Structure 1
Amino acid sequence: MLRNRVRATVGVCASAVVLTVVGLASTAYVKSPQQVASEAGPPAPDVLTAPVEHRVLTDTVVIRGTVEAGRTIAVSSTGPSGKESASPVVTKVMVGQGDSVKPAASLVEISGRPLFALKGALPVYRDLRPGAHGDDVRQLQKALEEKGFPVGGDRLGTFGAGTKEAVRKLYAALGYDPVPADPEGAQRLKEAERAVRDMERAWQDAESGTDRERAAEDLADAREELADAKAVDGPMVPASEIVFLPELPARVDAVEAAVGAAPGGTLLSVSVGELVVRGALTAADKGLVRKGQKVDIFSELTGTTATGKVTSVADRLSTPDTASKGEGAGAAEQPAVAGTGAAGYTVVVTPDRPLPGDLVHQGVRLTIKAAASEGKVLVVPVGAVSAGADVRTTVTVLRDAGRRERVDVRPGISGDGYVAVAPLTDGALDPGDRVVVGVAPAGSTDGAGSGSSDASVQLGNGEPTR
């Protein structure tokens, strides 16, 4: 019995010794992941490549712009003059922001009198009265004719009887009585007519000889005075009641007039002319942009796309909201200001086709094509081109099995992160070849182990391509 116990004890001890030896031996071959990584060393770096492209290369300048009318005009009026009443006050506002201004449209009413618009380039600088002469009278006559109020046989540039009748019809259409050129004109006209009748009777009653001759002279003078009275009598167009706009219809951009307020300063702002886009260039971009360059216009808000051309580039640095508003009766022109919010050199882009009216005052993206290659060329990323100490300009092409080949090239224009290249040896570089643009850190791409991966090239417009 004792012998069996001894044997069991010896067996257990022997087994323990064997297990201990096996465990110690296995530690020489089993390693943790960290130990394996530290002993393996860094993997081979991954080569970044990009394809050779065959296309037209363009260099673009991308900026923000604001859609504006060709010109913005501040409309103002001092109100009726020569009135023995309280200070002028706005009594009605007939238009709102975004409204269209048509010929003979009433804009506001000041102290019961209208302020209306007619088409004309010459600003109002005086009251237009019967008997007046000048280019402003000619402009009024033309505007009346276009609105359907003929001036009869009046000579162009002369405010005659036909023009007076046209003015009466204009005011009747507006719903107002015209202002008489002379408040006492009707009375003076009656007196002149009475004088003519008296002189006619005196001439008829005069006997032959000296008395009849003198009566005839007096009658002629009376008739001349009557003609003068008729010429200056009738309706006038006060400068405070009319504004000439160079183009109609126009668009109301802002209304500052308010009922009950004094009419001093700007009553409203209107825009005229075809819509354009104004942007601001930095000093660096200004050297790339020239008149006549093509532009792509894009509205992120509406999705509208359009094309246009650069029509002007300012020589002087400008800041937003530098336009001054007009004062006094009539209209004062002020440049439309691009809402870029920063100083810059103003660039104006004129669309090839009229832009929709709902884009007014909206921000858009302008992509100006500053330069372009003459036809399709071989194009590679700028990072693929290198210049060595041997004065060679080359690109490195990754061939089959990872073989690298340096190809001598002649660089051309560059733009948006790419450069045009021409191989010095025919056939040495073809579209679709992979050129080396850099080396990625080990394990940074999914293509590790393949020997190469596509490079993500950052374009000039901020959009990466792979």
Structure 2
Amino acid sequence: MQFVVSPAELAARTAPPEAGPVTASVEERVVENTVVTRGEVTYAGAVDAEIDTSSLEERAVVTGHVPEVGDELKAGDVALEVAGRPAIVLPGALPAYRDLRVGLRGPDVAELKTALAGFDLWAGDPDTDLYDADTAVAVGALYERIGYEAPTGGDEARVALRDAERAVRDADAELVSANRGGDAATARTANDALVDAQETLAEAQVAVMPSLPASEVLMLSALPRRVDDVRVARGDMLQGAAMQVSGATLAITGTVAKRDADLLQEGQAATFTGADGTDFNATVESVRAPEKAGSAPKSDDDGGGSDESAEQPAAARFSVTLKPEKLSAEQVDALRDTNVRLRIPVASTDGAVLAVPIAALSAGSGGEDRIELHLDAESRKAEGEDTVTVPVTAGLAADGYVEISCDDERVVPGAEVVVGT
């Protein structure tokens, strides 16, 4: 009998509750407008590091300076030693494709001169792309810094220089003798021989000035770089890429809609959450518009970057890059190659403020903002009403809440406001 329920009692139990207002509490909280997205944590710009050994006369055997995964390559470091010679890391976007020596011109020479200037070495006029004597002296100074002898043409070039110097001395003596003898024809012949000897000496002097073989330089942009993968060992023949390197610091890349991208700018603070729930700080580094469909990206020579003034499709996603801050080596290893949740605050109240659900806010006949305050029992008895409309000033709205300010003493944290019926 204890399970038997009368029809009248069953109807009473299932009857709808008495109609009344739906309320929520006034809160004291920070109202923050935040762009939320997800991003990949990676080392930026991974590239294969290749060393051109095609001009080597000896076998391209790796003889030393083999890095380990996780090592950092900086300007002036020796990335690898091949056949007893260094592969020097220098900053630059143009790979080494030829041996550089006095008299050559080109963008690779200009890039080298810029790199040498970064070591406080005078490499000649920076506005020209000529490899001159100053450039050669600077290259020699760089080799001296890293503890290697600079390439100067070898023994044959030094022998040729001595022979040329001797030839100039002999030709000069012949000219002096001819002038003393008073034979004009003999003097002219001796003078021509001296000029030829001097030209040969100039060429021999150039041949022994420091040069930079393509096999002894590794040009890498955005230094320093982190070694991600090493593909050779000491004693191996160098074939193909010796290693893979990437940016030395982590970067987080994600995408946002255009309406969110319009709120972001470089330098904004952000946070992201690791797999273990730990929050980390980051900074917005760049926000890039998507490329227009069917068009190639512009190079720096064409004005650089994408045409942000062009109309983008409504569904196009903007790329955002962030830089994590103050990570330990253990945290870097844990975060690398993970997908994380990003939060980028774009507007916030100055500390905790009074806030109510946006649904509690309504507009009066004059356009003013107002809330409907649900009175407590004592106030309802005094006012003779269950609710009262109170004008407020609305502030920042985000995450379903809106900041309010009001002079009415009844609008305090914990007070109830009507959000529906």
Out of 166, 190, 198, the position equivalent to 2:170 is 198
How many Å separate the matches in 1 of 2:403 and 2:10? Answer: 45
Q: 1:215 to 1:104 in 2, by over 3 A?
A: same
Aligned to 1:435: 417
Aligned to 2:244: 268
How many Å separate the matches in 2 of 1:154 and 1:208? Answer: 46
Out of 52, 76, 83, the position equivalent to 2:49 is 76
Deviation, 1:117, is 0.7
Q: 1:255 to 1:431 in 2, by over 3 A?
A: same
Deviation, 1:437, is 4.0
Structural mapping, 1:85-104, within 5 Å: 94-104=66-76
Out of 207, 212, 230, the position equivalent to 1:237 is 212
Aligned to 1:11: none
List gaps (5 residues or longer) in structure 1: 1-29, 324-342, 440-466
Deviation, 1:222, is 1.5
Deviation, 1:400, is 1.8
Kindly provide the amino acid, as one letter, of the partner of residue 420 in structure 1.
E
How many Å separate the matches in 2 of 1:386 and 1:155? Answer: 71
Q: 1:396 to 1:123 in 2, by over 3 A?
A: same
Kindly provide the amino acid, as one letter, of the partner of residue 400 in structure 1.
D
How many Å separate the matches in 2 of 1:253 and 1:170? Answer: 23
How many Å separate the matches in 1 of 2:418 and 2:89? Answer: 67
* Percentage of identical aligned residues: 29
Q: 1:380 to 1:141 in 2, by over 3 A?
A: closer
How many Å separate the matches in 1 of 2:86 and 2:40? Answer: 33
SS in 1 for 2:204: helix
Aligned to 1:51: 25
Q: Does 1:370 align with 2:352?
A: no
Structural mapping, 1:331-342, within 5 Å: none
Q: 1:383 to 1:202 in 2, by over 3 A?
A: same
Deviation, 1:126, is 4.0
Count residues in correspondence: 372
- Report the TM-score when normalising by structure 1: 0.63
Deviation, 1:256, is 5.6
Aligned to 1:315: 289
SS in 2 for 1:194: helix
Deviation, 1:380, is 0.7
Q: Does 1:255 align with 2:229?
A: yes
Aligned to 1:349: 322
Q: 1:58 to 1:107 in 2, by over 3 A?
A: same
Whether the 8 Å contact between 1:74 and 1:266 is mirrored in structure 2 is no
Whether the 8 Å contact between 2:358 and 2:402 is mirrored in structure 1 is yes
Deviation, 1:118, is 2.9
SS in 2 for 1:186: helix
RMSD, aligned α-carbons: 4.4
SS in 1 for 2:70: coil
How many Å separate the matches in 2 of 1:101 and 1:241? Answer: 15
Q: Does 1:116 align with 2:88?
A: yes
Kindly provide the amino acid, as one letter, of the partner of residue 5 in structure 2.
Q
Q: Does 1:414 align with 2:388?
A: no
Aligned to 2:157: 185
Q: 1:244 to 1:302 in 2, by over 3 A?
A: farther
Whether the 8 Å contact between 2:41 and 2:252 is mirrored in structure 1 is yes
How many Å separate the matches in 2 of 1:154 and 1:232? Answer: 18
Deviations 1:8-56 (A, max 9, x none): xxxxxxxxxxxxxxxxxxxxxx975633842643474697643212444
SS in 1 for 2:252: strand
Q: 1:432 to 1:44 in 2, by over 3 A?
A: same
Q: 1:60 to 1:163 in 2, by over 3 A?
A: closer
Deviations 1:224-272 (A, max 9, x none): 4213311222442112321244565x23252263355764358422315
Aligned to 1:219: 194
Kindly provide the amino acid, as one letter, of the partner of residue 296 in structure 1.
T
How many Å separate the matches in 1 of 2:56 and 2:220? Answer: 27
Whether the 8 Å contact between 2:139 and 2:212 is mirrored in structure 1 is no
How many Å separate the matches in 1 of 2:402 and 2:271? Answer: 22
List gaps (5 residues or longer) in structure 2: 298-315, 381-385
Deviation, 1:408, is 4.7
SS in 2 for 1:138: helix
Q: 1:31 to 1:80 in 2, by over 3 A?
A: closer
Deviations 1:287-326 (A, max 9, x none): 5444554423444548353253x343221179xxxx9xxx
SS in 1 for 2:190: helix
Aligned to 2:310: none
How many Å separate the matches in 2 of 1:301 and 1:183? Answer: 63
Kindly provide the amino acid, as one letter, of the partner of residue 371 in structure 1.
A
Q: 1:114 to 1:312 in 2, by over 3 A?
A: same
How many Å separate the matches in 2 of 1:232 and 1:73? Answer: 38
